[in-house]
Amino acid sequence: MDNQRLLVWAIFGLMVWFTYQAWVQDYAPRSAPASTTQPQQPAATEATPELPDIQAAGDEPAALPDAGAPATSDAATPEDAGETITIRTDVLDLHISTRGGTLMRALLRRYPVHKDQPDTLVELLSPAAGELGRVQTGLRSTGEGAEPNHLAAYTTSRSTYELGDADQLQVPLVWTSGDGLSVEKTITLRRGSYIVGIEHHVRNDSATDWRGAAYAQLQRRNREPERSMFDVDSYSFDGPIIYDGQKSTKLKRDDLLDDGPFSFNSANGWIASIQHHFLTAVVPPAGEEHRYNVSVRGDVSTASGIGPVKTVAPGEIASFSTTAFVGPKLQAQLETIDPKLKLTVDYGWLTIIAEPLFWLLSKIYGMVGNWGVAIIIVTILIKLAFYKLTEASGRSMAKMREIQPRMKALQERYKDDRQALSQAMMELYQREKVNPAAGCLPILIQMPFFLAFYWVLLESVEMRQAPFALWITDLSSRDPFFILPLIMGAAMLLQQRLNPAPADPVQARVMQIMPIMFTAFFAFFPSGLVLYWVTNTVLSIAQQWHINKVVSQEGKQQGGKAKKKGK
């Protein structure tokens, strides 16, 4: 096996892999997702077969209008939607409706849509028909009469709440049934956090038991994906994702439309809707058996979960709690809710490599304060880790370079006898102790790290719009002036000069155009990934130059010894 030929096949395989990934996103065969059912809880936390379905409340997944906007025929009127409560923290602008205490709008104050438009913020929840997103929570009752569901009318003493200098902000909403049942719904936010705590305190001042269960419902716009090779965001999954207590599953729109709703039971599950870098999730308390359902109607997906029935005796108070997350996929915050919530950061099948790489990057970033510098340092560490392995490959290429004149002489001598040429070449390799296959393993080992780095840089919101230096102001997007890909192409040309030229003329021409192909291929990759490849190439050049020098000196020394013996 020839090192150059292996490189050609490795690059070809890489291109095929990226093409396959894009194909899978759009055209992969679909199989019906299997519903999972876990054992029912004991009587103390009985399941809810008698509880009516959440959808029975009659709420259609129609969009709510913007505050002050005129009502349309396919949207609820502002009166139906209730009054709007505005909540402002250091990271979130949140709008809550008094109709059920629904989270109906969320602006991420630290995340502009584009870096050059700092005032246009990412709107993760929205009442707009085309960008609908909302989190509805409430309680269902097993009996008849009014219930504090997400259609109930709550009251509050204020319409505006601000965190200010405090570390925590609580927003209380009150509902009363008129027959002795009252509920205080408390929404809690904290400084620097995108976690939204939601708690229902039920007070039963009636003469009979009240029995009911808490539920949550996440609605999000859901439409056909549009892919573009010029937009890396378009290849990230956008839609509902669930965790059934054992594994996470991304639910594609076509699957839900063709196969119907996806249902499962779990005592440690959650539901979420993800898009590139951002997440809306609902995580019930661990250990409580919940029944989940995910469906698509029109251009809206609805994911819901309903918990076990609890009994509140006359004169007693009971609490029902759940946790929502509305914000960027910051892995440190996701872990505080549920360690498995990190699965929403989709590193693909290379998660086992990508997660340690991200952990290492994060630690180094904490010391240097620059993600670009952290990428360079991690690349150096990876190079050092595989130095001995790549050194063997480098020595083999250096020796191949040294004996290349003799290889060309053999090719001329046996140009009409391929069998004799192969035998002569093998004898030359054995005599000079050269192994043409020595470069295979290092290249194959490094390829998964390259792909894992690709997904880390593409999916980690921590590096979204992160600057490096000079013209590189966003490591997660392409170089705006294509300077870094051109530097990479030039470095690859220099690297080729240090390696032996392929004996096959066709292969030699392919290798000559490879830097051009790679430059064009990498031009639209995240600049952080190109920075990694440039750094790796420069380090490889330095390593190969050093090895070539050492091997050349060894060859001269051996030649000198041979001359002395000849005398």
Give the confidence band of 279 by pLDDT, cuts at 50, 70, 90.
Answer: very high
Report the alpha-carbon distance of residue 510 to residue 515 in Å, rounded. Answer: 10
Bridge partners, 325 (sequence order): 195, 281
CB count within 10 Å of CB 131 equals 13
CB count within 10 Å of CB 481 equals 11
pLDDT tens-digit series, residues 237-249: 888 999 998 889 8
The predicted pLDDT at position 435 comes to: 64
Task: Provide the pairing of β-strand 270-275 with 239-243.
Answer: antiparallel
Residue identified by tokens 């046996």 is: 414
Residue identified by tokens 């997400």 is: 150
Higher pLDDT among residues 154 and 15, named by residue: 154
Cβ-Cβ contacts under 8 Å for 39 (sequence gap 6 or more): none
The predicted pLDDT at position 154 comes to: 95
pTM of the shown model? 0.76
Buried b (16+ CB within 10 A) or exposed e, 414-440: beeeeeebeebbeeebeeeebbbebbb
Average pLDDT for 142-158? 89
Higher pLDDT among residues 562 and 477, named by residue: 477
CA distances for 143 relative to 32, 179, 288, 407, 426, angstroms: 36, 13, 22, 90, 87
Report the alpha-carbon distance of residue 397 to residue 495 in Å, rounded. Answer: 12
Q: Which of 2.70.98.90, 3.30.830.10, 1.10.10.60, 3.40.630.10 is the CATH number of 56-223+235-344?
A: 2.70.98.90
Give the confidence band of 272 by pLDDT, cuts at 50, 70, 90.
Answer: very high
- Phi and psi (nearest 5°) for 81? -75, -15
The predicted pLDDT at position 284 comes to: 94
Higher pLDDT among residues 14 and 292, named by residue: 292
The predicted pLDDT at position 294 comes to: 93
List the chain domain ranges: 3-17+360-556, 56-223+235-344
Report the alpha-carbon distance of residue 513 to residue 192 in Å, rounded. Answer: 50
pLDDT tens-digit series, residues 317-341: 999 999 999 999 999 899 999 999 9
Candidates 83, 105, 78, 101; CA nearest to 170 is: 101
Cβ-Cβ contacts under 8 Å for 364 (sequence gap 6 or more): 373, 374, 377, 378
Candidates 517, 522, 536, 532; CA nearest to 12 is: 517
pLDDT tens-digit series, residues 344-403: 988 877 888 888 889 999 999 999 999 999 999 998 988 888 777 776 666 666 666 666
- Phi and psi (nearest 5°) for 367? -90, -35
Residue identified by tokens 């039963």 is: 204
Tokens representing 232 are 């890396």
Is the confidence at residue 270, as pLDDT, over 70?
Answer: yes
Higher pLDDT among residues 479 and 372, named by residue: 372
Report the alpha-carbon distance of residue 170 to residue 162 in Å, rounded. Answer: 10
Tokens representing 422 are 């192969």
Cβ-Cβ contacts under 8 Å for 498 (sequence gap 6 or more): 401, 541, 544, 545, 548
- Phi and psi (nearest 5°) for 515? -60, -35
pLDDT tens-digit series, residues 41-85: 333 333 333 444 544 333 433 332 232 333 333 333 343 567 999
Give the confidence band of 96 by pLDDT, cuts at 50, 70, 90.
Answer: very high
Candidates 130, 129, 185, 127; CA nearest to 153 is: 185
Average pLDDT for 12-24? 49
Higher pLDDT among residues 356 and 26, named by residue: 356
Candidates 425, 394, 386; CA nearest to 407 is: 425
Report the alpha-carbon distance of residue 352 to residue 343 in Å, rounded. Answer: 12
The predicted pLDDT at position 530 comes to: 87
Q: Which string of DSSP letters, residue by residue, matches 277-293?
A: TEEEEEEPPTT--EEEE
Greatest extent of the chain over all pairs of C-alpha atoms, in Å: 117
The predicted pLDDT at position 394 comes to: 65
The predicted pLDDT at position 228 comes to: 62
Report the alpha-carbon distance of residue 556 to residue 69 in Å, rounded. Answer: 84
pLDDT tens-digit series, residues 183-242: 999 999 999 999 999 999 999 999 899 999 999 999 999 887 776 665 666 677 888 999
Edge-to-edge strands, sheet with 270-275: 168-176, 181-190, 195-204, 317-328, 278-283, 270-275, 239-243, 248-250
Q: Which of 67-71, 139-143, 297-301 has the lowest mean pLDDT?
A: 67-71
pLDDT tens-digit series, residues 111-133: 998 887 888 999 999 998 888 99
Report the alpha-carbon distance of residue 294 to residue 299 in Å, rounded. Answer: 14
| 478-487 contacts at long range (C-beta below 8 A, 24 or more positions apart) | 478/232, 478/523, 478/524, 478/525, 478/526, 478/527, 479/523, 479/527, 479/530, 482/523, 484/527, 484/530, 484/531, 484/534, 485/519, 485/520, 485/522, 485/523, 485/525, 485/530, 486/519, 487/534
- pLDDT over 90 for what percent of the chain? 36
The predicted pLDDT at position 72 comes to: 31
Report the alpha-carbon distance of residue 172 to residue 283 in Å, rounded. Answer: 21
pLDDT tens-digit series, residues 502-524: 555 665 666 677 778 878 878 88
Report the alpha-carbon distance of residue 143 to residue 559 in Å, rounded. Answer: 98
Q: Which of 30-34, 239-243, 262-266 has the lowest mean pLDDT?
A: 30-34
The predicted pLDDT at position 404 comes to: 66
Higher pLDDT among residues 457 and 69, named by residue: 457
